[in-house]
Copies of this chain bind each other. A is one copy, B any other.
């Protein structure tokens, strides 16, 4: 079976605002702590975000714009003493489609700015989606 479509377009709906500007300081995996951050959403998605409130637990979907898309094998956790593995068996940011998934809780809301308890993405990371957690 062949995929007939070459690509699809993802369009940012906002951006991460964070004190984290140096990616080398980011936690290695999304559940290893991280920094408080804001999502600053575009006015075009005002209706989509209308019912998001403080206390909501959400999964934020980001585009990891600093990642390499041509890396198919990597050392787990960047540790050269560990054998390389295919990136689908790792949580490396480097992968063919560098989509980031982040669980977080909404701590504040100021119009289209959403405060997050922690988010492991550098300042300026594009936001693609917010999905309420079950």
What interface size band does chain A fall in? 35 or more
Are B1 and A59 in contact, with the CB atoms below 8 A? no
The distance from the CB of A126 to the nearest CB of chain B, in whole angstroms, is: 6
How many copies of the shown chain assemble into the complex?
2
The chain B residue with its CB closest to the CB of A71 is B48
Which residues on B sit within 8 Å (CB–CB) of A90? 132
Contact partners of A88 in chain B: CB under 8 A: 45, 48-49, 51-52, 58, 129-132
A3 engages B31 (CB within 8 Å): no
CB of A8, distance to nearest CB on chain B (Å): 5
**How does the 8 Å CB contact mask read for A1-18 relative to B, with 1 for contact and 0 for none?**
101011111111111010
Separation in Å of the A102 CB from the closest CB of chain B?
Answer: 12
Question: Which 7 interchain pairs have the tightest Cβ spacing?
Answer: A47-B72, A51-B89, A50-B86, A88-B130, A7-B9, A48-B72, A3-B12
